[in-house]
Amino acid sequence: MEIIIAKNTGLCYGVKLALKIARETRRRRDGKVSTLGELIHNPQVIADLENQGVASIEALKDIKEGTVIIRSHGVSPEIYKILKKKKLEIIDATCPIVKKIQRLVAKLAQENKEIIIVGNKEHPEIRGLIGYSRGRGRIVENETQVGPMSFKKKRAVLAQSTQDLYLFEKVVSALIEKTEELQVFNTICHSTQTRQRATSELASKVNALFIVGGKASSNTGKLYQISKRILPQTYFIESAGQITPKMLRGARIIGISGGASTPPEAIEAAVERIQQNFEQHSHEESRIQCQR
């Protein structure tokens, strides 16, 4: 049996930065410290933060005092206004790459362009981005939603930072048919693109692949979809305990990949679990290759 860990797996720059900011804020501030929504989409990390005294609060109305940390996904200008009105101290942990996309949306809105944002309408990053568009933004989740759109002389299109590149390309192709002058901004971040590439390469070399990460994590979900297109024996797991011998049946080479919010310990636990399961059924030697 061989286990191969995908290149570029694990926490991305924006998530590491947000975690560092949250922990430093807790050390330096007295009183309540909360994050508006989960800092990252990973249940183990969130539980760890709660133990350290950083509460994760979903609804704005429930944050009444102390310091509030804006997570890496960012928020709309409206949310900043409400937080200021509540007289809360704001610590901004928005990923600098997301900030750049927010500035781009604001600039395009100022130029009076229709802005197509390719992403999930429920995702916090998208809810934040749409707030910078001054009513000129339109969220598109897939290429079929472009079909009913009218022909326009000018449009701009950009993507959620964690979007699937393949899906973005499909939406752009559909928009070309509907727009005379289409401005395309590939705003999928470098971390996301390298993880997607590494996962699709890995899916074509292994017999089973485990995508480790929180179910609410957009980028981890995209890795699952990408791998599943190539390899039907792809599994999305939140923790190592979900790996069963049935999932490993017939697999000689097993891949593991994780999203931008998957901590290294979750990957290590998955390796151990696979080895334990395998040992119960075989005495063959196992080999681990790490492509990180």
Q: Which residues are catalytic?
A: 125
The yes or no reply on residue 19 touching ligand SF4 (CB under 6 A) is: no
Q: Among 21, 22, 93, 97, which residue interacts with ligand SF4 (rule: CB under 6 A)?
A: 97
User: Which residue stretch of 10-18, 46-54, 102-110, 228-236 sits at the interface with ligand SF4 (rule: CB under 6 A)?
Assistant: 10-18
User: Which residue stretch of 58-66, 167-175, 186-194, 264-272 sits at the interface with ligand SF4 (rule: CB under 6 A)?
Assistant: 186-194
In the complex with ligand SF4, which residue's Cβ is closer, 189 or 274? 189
The yes or no reply on residue 72 touching ligand SF4 (CB under 6 A) is: yes
SS (H, E, C) 225-270: HHHHHHCCCEEEECCHHHCCHHHHCCCCEEEEEECCCCCHHHHHHH
User: Which residue stretch of 8-16, 76-84, 102-110, 196-204 sits at the interface with ligand SF4 (rule: CB under 6 A)?
Assistant: 8-16
Q: List 223's β-bridge partners, or say none.
A: none
The yes or no reply on residue 167 touching ligand SF4 (CB under 6 A) is: no
Instruction: Output the residue with the shortest Cβ distance to ligand SF4.
Output: 14
Backbone angles phi, psi at 66, to 5 degrees: 85, -145
The yes or no reply on residue 262 touching ligand SF4 (CB under 6 A) is: no
Cα dihedral 121, 126, 131, 134 in deg (nearest 10):
-80
Do residues 93 and 21 lie in contact, with contact meaning Cβ atoms separated by under 8 Å? yes
The yes or no reply on residue 198 touching ligand SF4 (CB under 6 A) is: no
Residue 35: C-alpha distances to residues 19, 127, 270 (Å): 11, 17, 28
Q: How far is the CB of 195 from ligand SF4 (least distance, A)?
A: 8
Q: How far is the CB of 212 from ligand SF4 (least distance, A)?
A: 16
The yes or no reply on residue 118 touching ligand SF4 (CB under 6 A) is: no
- Cα 109 from Cα 156, distance rounded (Å): 10
The yes or no reply on residue 22 touching ligand SF4 (CB under 6 A) is: no
Residue recorded with tokens 């005294």: 53
In the complex with ligand SF4, which residue's Cβ is closer, 36 or 189? 189
Q: Which two tokens stand for residue 113?
A: 């362009």
The yes or no reply on residue 219 touching ligand SF4 (CB under 6 A) is: yes
Q: Among 9, 162, 233, 277, which residue interacts with ligand SF4 (rule: CB under 6 A)?
A: 162
Q: Which two tokens stand for residue 41?
A: 């989409």
Backbone angles phi, psi at 117, to 5 degrees: -110, 115
- Cα 181 from Cα 61, distance rounded (Å): 43
Sign, Cα dihedral of 220, 225, 231, 233? positive
Q: Look at residue 140 and give its three-state secondary structure.
A: strand
In the complex with ligand SF4, which residue's Cβ is closer, 3 or 211? 211
Residues that bind ligand SF4 (CB under 6 A): 12-15, 72, 95, 97-98, 161-162, 189, 191-192, 219, 260
